Amino acid sequence: MPVQGTMLIGQSALHGVAPSLNAFDPALGAPIEPSFGGATAADVDRACRLADTAYESYSRTDPELRAMFLEAIAANLLALGDELVDRTMSETGLPRTRIQGEQARTAAQVHHFASVVRSGLWRRATIVSADSRKAVPSPDMRLHKVALGPVAVFGASNFPLLYSVAGGDTASALAAGCPVIVKAHFSHLGTSELVGRALQKAVADFGLHEGVFSLIVGAGNAAAEALVDHPAIKAVAFTGSQAGGMALVRRGQQRPEPIPVFTEMTSVNPNFVLPHVVATRGEALAVRFAEQVAAGVGQMCLKPGVLIAIEGNGFGAMRSALQDAVSAKPAATMLSPGIHDAYGRRTERQRAAAPVIASGGPPSGKTDGQALLFEINADALLADITLAEEMFGPAALLVRCSQFSDMVRIAERLPGQLTMTLQMDAEDAALAKALMPVLERKAGRIIANGFSNAAVEFTSATNHGGPFPATSDSRFTSVGSSAIDRFLRPVSYQNVPAMLLPPALRDENPYGLTRLRDERFETVRQKREAVR
């Protein structure tokens, strides 16, 4: 079915009557039909009320049913095939291979949360048995985690699939048992509608309450503010700019009932290149660094944007190789006119204090981003650390240090990051060890001899978060198994009769969970042996 220009509220598809908007083709410089009518306050209210009603049944679904529902979403997403890929290419200017890869990774991420649901570890089911032998008898205590309630998700500008309608925020919230209302990013309206239908179909096919998923659109801030303000919403997830993220954080805290707003905002993902690497393989590293800076026209939250190295043996050769590699990068279409204009403003500000030492191919289109390499010494950067702020586009900053202590001082002054990378050899071990305590305070993920914007793995050991301003809450991740924790809260049951206990805490363990009983892990096999 072609894009209709509709938003999806429960099982309904409707054209909004608020001011209309169109997606935009950044390569052609033209709007894309059809127009989408924006959501009114009444539309937002209807979606939120449906989600609130759906919460009671959906949050109590059997884990196998919930996992199968997630798997159906993934299958429906893949089934969209070229229809989705073609529309997304038009709305972003991204190449086919990038979109196809993102479609596959989005489906894989949804599948990952299906396995998370089945494992049950996220429930943290815990039993502490009553003990009448104590001088003061202790009660029977049981605890597990339950879904917070309906969640509002804001689609990202730079990942139209992976961090959007069926992305990690939506998948982890649905895995937790939370109904989801997505506010589509205005740049990806057709993409969002197509993916939204994939979710809508899965809801219907599994006989779930229609309020489990809704998709709204809207120009300006009115629909977003109405969504965050609605009393049915119990949490918000956002990926985007620091200004936008913090506006949502403040709004969530100013409600009569404050709610958590989980944001991923800004990061330059600095690379600390230690001396032995500079001397022995600095040129090769420079070429690889330039490739990562230009990947996706530099429009990735994990783009490595700062390279910090000590002047000495091999530094000049590394610097020259980096200049050559950046100069060879052709200009390419950025995601939207707004992002292109913001990139221009940010790089113009940078030019005032840090000279450009390499420029990529000149732009030929109105929204083309040109690769740029700036350079500054450590003292100048320490005098104005804002020169190391994110340049969202294919630009990077080379920082020259005269000694290792400069590198440490820069690490200490940088704000919180999603990642920090050590480019090191065994001969650099002592220096790396000295840097580690600083990196641990400043970053959510520390990388050795790699690059931050290589594919983020969906594992139980993944952390895609970090200290402010990388995120609004460094305790949580938006990628990996633990992303589900954002949308859960603990409930404890004291001396509650067995017939009233949730299945996860009943002695017979009908879900087959691994549980903590009296400070020891109890597996399903152990439980069955005990019964025999």
Q: In sequence order, what are the residues at sequence separation of 6 or more whose Cβ sits closer than 8 angstroms to the Cβ of residue 396?
A: 289, 290, 293, 304, 305, 306, 307, 326, 372, 373, 374
Rg (CA), the chain: 25
Residue 82 CB-density burial (10 A; 0-12 exposed, 13-18 middle, 19+ buried): exposed
Q: Which residues pair with 396 in a beta bridge?
A: 373
Per-residue CA distances from 182 to 116, 265, 411 (Å): 22, 18, 37
Catalytic residue, chosen from 71, 102, 193, 264, is 264
Catalytic residue, chosen from 301, 389, 390, 401, is 301
Whether 91 is catalytic is: no
Residue 246 CB-density burial (10 A; 0-12 exposed, 13-18 middle, 19+ buried): middle
The Cα 453–Cα 429 span in angstroms is: 24
Contact 216, 182 (CB under 8 A): yes
Full DSSP string of 400-425? EESSHHHHHHHHHHS--EEEEEEE--
Full DSSP string of 146-177? EE---EEEE--SS-TTTTSTTSHHHHHHHHHT
Whether 390 is catalytic is: no
Contact 156, 97 (CB under 8 A): no
Token duo for residue 36? 């989408």
Token duo for residue 60? 């109590």
Q: In sequence order, what are the residues at sequence separation of 6 or more whose Cβ sits closer than 8 angstroms to the Cβ of residue 491?
A: 143, 144, 145, 146
In sign, the C-alpha dihedral spanning 208, 180, 175, 3 is positive
The residues annotated as belonging to the active site are 264, 301
